[in-house]
């Protein structure tokens, strides 16, 4: 490769890798598999080694991927703190010979008198916990390796992370040691989502026609960055810890440190082994490459560390990796099974999705019987036939996913599937949106599956929260009692008692649940309507921006696009929804039933006193912090979790955080008290 070509390729690789890092760490929506990413990074490393004049300090080979979200990219802001010790990444390989090369380099530097600690590499998101005097003090994400996001409130909702350490039964206090642990130490590990919790979460998202998480790692990372700690608690996250740091730690080896941590009640993996040579390491890798398929969580490799802590210190670090550890990565887990048939499912928005029915096969701790084929284009690319033996992956890709066909096992008893031209439910000719690969049934008001899907969505927990499920909807629909959401509010006791299995008590509970649902706030009612692309968060944004359903219905495209986070596709969908007479009729009937179609007085924008102002709050006030944030929003201001150069005011109550005060002073940010704040919102000039 000529020098000019090498320069161009290096720039291309940097751009692709940086974008992949952003999609992986920030968006939790990877565009490349781990293997594809690692191969691109190795190519960049190789070119930079050959042409060192083109290596720069901001190259992806010189820094870890960052999970920090800038203020410009998101409203989900977390306070940030520096890591006391840099939080680096790991060098990795897919080749056992490179593990041997790692061992050879260690021997050359530190001799032969050492061992290795071999551990499972959990496929989650990195976390750093600080304990002070035996109590959890702070939890930081990896961030950019030097600074991390403070997610302590969310971590406190992960059940297997102790808030307070346990004293081992065999510990005897002395004058020199009053507690079994150091006064302060850091312990690092991985927060992950077990397969069962992951599958449950994705089922919920699919039912709501929200995009499923690509893999448990993305689900764990996305969950850890949620603003609502109560939601985090419901996500089923777990943690495994694997590295202790601190001043004057009393341990000789890494394994000894982990045993101590385990005795204090910290979650440490028992699936590790101290090995003496490369043969034992290879045996450990081979064992877990097979046994990982039965584990209840995702693991993507084995981490091999020099066990002796003094030798770790001697080997030191590169700019990005410790020299005393390496990760051996497993290839994405696959299973080969037979494709029995393909169903074509219609969703509540009319999207038709092909779903493969498979001979049951075990994969990543669960039995897989079905896998998505996504769309007609994907089926064509795979050249898939009924009766083929197909590869299914449940690793770093969409879960579960058919990735290929084993042509060597293709027999004579195969048949070519045909993606339907008409809706499999109502027979209407399908249409294909030029902007999307999916096919849609346009018969929104006459397709039974779409109608029932929208009815289920309307009553769902995050929408109207009515006690009912798919079986109830089937019964009501089949009896022609319910056709659109407004019909629910016209149901009478005598209607329900005609349904099989219904008694007065069950009918009464259902009707009372409907009665309670009229108290649901406007943003949830808007979400319940099931407008295409308008999810829970978008509904809240639109409701608060416009204030009422009438204002949304009257909005033109320009007005819709002016709302925060509303792009062209969503705006077009909303605009089209309110141009359908049937939808307007349904809304009118729901209004008559008493549902809320405007923001209530307490939620309305009260003034524009704080328009364009970003305010950080710290400390205690005469009202709750949530109420104070709501007050800021009601007067046009924006809440932020951390002080930056863009902060307009630091609103300090009683006992404000000293670090926020210090940062505000250093940046020249004006610090105001609650009285001054209330003068501001009452339009008293400051």
Q: Contact 524/539 with Cβ under 8 angstroms?
A: yes
Continuous segment of H or E residues that includes residue 389: strand 389-393
Q: At what angle do helices 3-21 and 34-50 cross, to 10 degrees?
A: 150
Distance CA 21, CA 682 (A): 45
User: Other CB atoms closer than 10 Å to residue 76's CB: what's the count?
Assistant: 12
Of residues 530, 543, 517, the one with CA closest to residue 464: 517
Non-local (6+) Cβ contacts of 74 within 8 A are none
For the chain, helix, strand, coil in percent to 5 are: 40, 20, 40
Burial class (CB in 10 A: 0-12, 13-18, 19+), 554: exposed
Non-local (6+) Cβ contacts of 222 within 8 A are 28, 213
Burial class (CB in 10 A: 0-12, 13-18, 19+), 675: exposed
Distance CA 264, CA 256 (A): 13
Distance CA 155, CA 219 (A): 15
What letter does residue 386 receive in the DSSP assignment? B
User: Other CB atoms closer than 10 Å to residue 98's CB: what's the count?
Assistant: 14
Structure tokens given for 571: 């705006």
Q: Helices (DSSP H) in 375-419: which residue ranges?
A: 376-382
Q: 303 in the Ramachandran plot: left (φ > 0), alpha (ψ -120 to 50) or beta? A: beta
Structure tokens given for 265: 């009640």
Asked if 121 is an active-site residue, the reply is yes
Q: What is the CA 171 to chain-centroid distance, rounded?
A: 40
Residue carrying structure tokens 């730690």: 249
Distance CA 424, CA 63 (A): 51
φ/ψ of 572, rounded to 5, equals -65, -40
Identify the active-site residue in 3, 72, 121, 438.
121
Burial class (CB in 10 A: 0-12, 13-18, 19+), 104: exposed
Q: Which residues are catalytic?
A: 121
């Amino acid at each position: 490769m000529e020098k000019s070509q090498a320069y161009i390729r290096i720039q291309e690789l940097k751009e692709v890798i940086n974008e992949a890092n952003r999609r992986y760490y920030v968006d939790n929506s990877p565009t490349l598999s781990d293997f594809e990413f690692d191969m691109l990074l190795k190519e960049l490393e190789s070119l930079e080694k050959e042409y060192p004049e083109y290596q720069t300090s901001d190259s992806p080979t010189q820094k870890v991927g960052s999970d920090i979200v800038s203020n410009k990219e998101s409203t989900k802001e977390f306070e940030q703190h520096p890591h006391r010790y840099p939080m680096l990444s790991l060098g990795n390989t897919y080749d056992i010979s490179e593990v041997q090369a790692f061992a050879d380099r260690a021997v050359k530097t530190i001799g032969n008198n050492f061992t290795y600690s071999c551990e499972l590499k959990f496929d989650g998101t990195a976390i750093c916990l600080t304990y002070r005097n035996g109590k959890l003090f702070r939890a930081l994400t990896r961030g950019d390796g030097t600074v991390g996001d403070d997610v302590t409130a969310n971590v406190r909702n992960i059940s297997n992370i102790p808030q307070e350490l346990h004293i081992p039964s065999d510990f005897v206090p002395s004058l020199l040691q009053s507690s079994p642990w150091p006064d302060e130490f850091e312990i690092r590990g991985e927060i992950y989502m077990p397969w069962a919790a992951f599958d449950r979460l994705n089922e919920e998202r699919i039912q709501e026609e929200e995009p499923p998480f690509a893999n448990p790692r993305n689900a764990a990372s996305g969950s850890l960055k949620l603003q609502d700690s109560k939601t985090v608690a419901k996500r089923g996250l777990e943690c495994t810890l694997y590295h202790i740091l601190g001043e004057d730690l009393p341990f000789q080896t890494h394994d000894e440190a982990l045993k101590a941590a385990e005795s204090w009640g910290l979650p440490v993996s028992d699936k590790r082994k101290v090995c003496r040579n490369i043969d034992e390491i290879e045996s450990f890798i081979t064992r877990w490459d097979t046994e990982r398929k039965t584990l209840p969580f995702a693991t993507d490799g084995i981490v091999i560390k020099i066990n002796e802590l003094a030798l770790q210190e001697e080997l030191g670090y590169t700019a990005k990796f410790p020299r005393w550890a390496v990760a051996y990565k497993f290839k994405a887990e696959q299973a080969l099974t037979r494709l029995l048939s393909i169903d074509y499912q219609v969703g509540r928005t009319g999207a038709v999705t092909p779903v493969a029915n498979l001979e049951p096969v075990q994969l990543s701790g669960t039995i897989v019987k079905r896998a998505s084929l996504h769309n007609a284009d994907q089926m064509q690319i795979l050249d898939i036939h009924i009766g083929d033996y197909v590869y299914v992956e449940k690793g770093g890709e969409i879960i579960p996913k058919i990735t290929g066909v084993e042509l060597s096992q293709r027999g004579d008893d195969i048949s070519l599937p045909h993606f339907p031209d008409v809706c499999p439910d109502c027979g209407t000719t399908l249409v294909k949106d030029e902007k999307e690969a999916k096919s849609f049934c346009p018969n929104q008001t006459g397709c039974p599956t779409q109608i029932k899907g929208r009815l289920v969505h309307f009553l769902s927990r995050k929408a109207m929260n009515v006690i009912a499920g798919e079986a109830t909807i089937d019964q009501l629909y089949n009896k022609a009692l319910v056709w659109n959401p407004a019909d629910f509010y016209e149901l009478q006791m005598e209607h329900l008692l005609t349904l099989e299995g219904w008694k007065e008590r069950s009918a009464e509970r259902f009707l009372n649940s409907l009665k309670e649902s009229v108290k649901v706030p406007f943003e949830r009612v808007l979400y319940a309507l099931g407008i295409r692309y308008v999810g829970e968060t978008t509904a809240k944004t639109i409701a608060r921006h416009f204030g009422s359903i009438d204002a949304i219905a009257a909005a033109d495209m320009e007005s819709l696009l002016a709302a925060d986070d509303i792009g062209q596709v969503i705006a077009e969908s909303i605009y089209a929804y309110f141009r359908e007479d049937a939808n307007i009729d349904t809304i009118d009937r729901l209004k008559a039933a008493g549902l809320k179609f405007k923001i209530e007085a307490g939620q309305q924008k009260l003034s524009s006193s704080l328009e364009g102002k970003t305010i950080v709050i710290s400390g205690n006030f005469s009202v709750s912090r949530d109420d104070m944030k709501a007050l800021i929003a009601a007067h046009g201001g924006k809440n932020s979790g951390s002080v930056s150069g863009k902060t307009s005011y630091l609103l300090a109550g009683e006992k404000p955080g000293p670090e926020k005060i210090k940062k505000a002073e250093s940046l020249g940010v004006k610090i105001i008290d609650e009285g001054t704040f209330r003068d501001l919102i009452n339009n008293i000039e400051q």
